[in-house]
Amino acid sequence: MPALAAAQVEAFAREVGAASATGSRFQTSDGRDFEVRVDGAGSSLRLSFASATAARAAPVEPDPVQSSAEDDAPLLELLAVLQDEHVSDLLLSSGLPPRVRSGGDLHTLESPILDDAGILALLAPGLDDLARAQLEARGSVDRTVELPSAALGLRFRINLFRQDRGLAAALRPIRRTPPRLADLNLPDDLYDLVAYPNGLVLVTGPAGSGKSTTLVALTEHLNQTATRHIVTLEDPIEYRYTPKRSLIHQRELGRHVEDFAGGLRAALREAPDVILVGEMRDRETIAAALTAAETGHLVLSTLHSATPWMAIDRMLDAFPGPQQPQVRAQLAGVLRAVLSQHLLVSTAPPLRVPAYEKLVVTAAAANQIRDDKVHQLSSTIQTGREDGMVPLE
């Protein structure tokens, strides 16, 4: 480009300046900003233009706040305790030392005492907006939480709840790989519980007896050995299955379905072969499970009861008296087996070992259920070894 005469530069500067000038910054009619500099004098003038937009440095975003390894160390030390296979629960209570359950007994840890803020900070990865809303509305919330910063290879089932001194939480470690029955010190012949093509199979026992974990082992066995479509309804989802021979869809209460009963009704339209129900909590869930079993599905579930016959009585008692004969007839037709499980304290590792009682619903047992003679099932188990029954001895 040929050099411009001084008069041309001056005219150009006046034209640009007319667009709107403030000091040495000019804005053109189309809104672009320029920094203009005039050098020289007389007939030797030089105009330098630079984009003012480009010249402005972009604002620097502050780095996200991250807790240092030193800050995390007390929490990592606390969570590391749960790597011990003999520890079943970690209990946190605002203003008190943490405690763990090992071998059925509680032990106080020499760890930092957490207040409400500390408990919330520890469990933050598992507390989404929905969980916080449930805690606020109901006073407690169930979730599974994974703390990647800990790098411990563990997930936790948590119950966070409000109490008189503030917040408290119960954490139970969940191993990443679904266990086998052998890992739980249970015999492989219990895999027969999921060999039925349809019907209802229950795993019962008191709280903390390992009912849910046994169901996990049975479900994973199906996953590895059978071509089934399995729908699980869980509160919350604990173990995550990797579909193998079976196709598994896991649904969580509060996230994917409203409740067990609603999830069961929906599952009937999802073409399942097997439906796992986390717990028989109420009449609606029991009724929906019986319907699912009657319509050709295998339904697996848990119930809080000490014996197989108490489990049947508890299901019947959930219904009004006039409905109970119908429910007895349904149970007699669809109930396949009841496994009642307990954990007993051992003097050597593992510190707790399972003991179980198994009812197989034979024709004779079905008649006892139908005829309201559930109390006789105890004797039926004692004499039914040839049918695969196992008494608790």
Provide the CATH number for the domain around residue 312: 3.40.50.300
Same domain, 300 and 166: no
Q: Domain for residue 59, yes or no?
A: no
Highest mean pLDDT (candidates 49-53, 131-135, 234-238, 361-365): 361-365
Q: Domain for residue 2, yes or no?
A: no
- For the chain, what percent of residues have pLDDT higher than 90? 55
H or E segment to which residue 108 belongs: strand 105-108
Same domain, 276 and 145: no
> Which pTM value belongs to this model?
0.72
The region, left, alpha or beta by phi > 0 then psi within -120 to 50, assigned to residue 194 is alpha
Q: Domain for residue 351, yes or no?
A: yes
Q: Is the pLDDT of residue 132 over 70?
A: yes
Q: Quickly list H helices, 124-186.
A: 129-138
- Residue 127 sits in a domain of what CATH number? 3.30.450.90
Q: Is the pLDDT of residue 144 over 50?
A: yes
291 vs 6 pLDDT, higher one? 291
Domain count, the chain: 3
Same domain, 125 and 210: no
Work out the mean pLDDT of the chain and round it to a whole number: 82
Q: Enumerate long-range contacts of 370-376, CB under 8 Å, 24 or more apart.
A: 370/328, 370/329, 370/332, 372/325, 372/328, 374/309, 374/312, 374/313, 374/316, 375/309
Q: Is 364 helix (H, G, I), strand (E, B) or coil?
A: helix
- Provide the angle, in degrees to the nearest 10, between the axes of the packed helices 363-370 and 324-334: 170
**ω into 236 cis (within 30 of 0):** yes
Pick from 109, 139, 174: which residue ends a domain? Answer: 174
Same domain, 244 and 300: yes
Q: Domain for residue 136, yes or no?
A: yes
Domain coverage including residue 273: 181-387
Same domain, 156 and 193: no
Give 116's pLDDT tier (boundaries 50, 70, 90).
Answer: very high
Q: Is the pLDDT of residue 70 over 50?
A: no
Q: Domain for residue 60, yes or no?
A: no
Confirm if 257 and 284 have CB atoms less than 8 A apart.
Answer: no
Give 222's pLDDT tier (boundaries 50, 70, 90).
Answer: very high
Same domain, 282 and 373: yes
Strands 199-205 and 298-304: what pairing?
Answer: parallel
Q: How far is CA 187 from the centre of its chain?
A: 28
Same domain, 269 and 302: yes
Confirm if 89 and 101 have CB atoms less than 8 A apart.
Answer: yes
Q: Is 356 helix (H, G, I), strand (E, B) or coil?
A: strand
Confirm if 204 and 339 have CB atoms less than 8 A apart.
Answer: yes
What's the pLDDT at 174? 79
Give 177's pLDDT tier (boundaries 50, 70, 90).
Answer: confident
Same domain, 167 and 203: no
H or E segment to which residue 40 belongs: strand 33-41
Residues 6+ apart with CB under 8 A from 63: none
Same domain, 166 and 301: no
Q: Is the pLDDT of residue 52 over 90?
A: no
Q: How far is CA 231 from the centre of its chain?
A: 15
- Tokens representing 213? 């974990």
Q: Is the pLDDT of residue 86 over 60?
A: yes
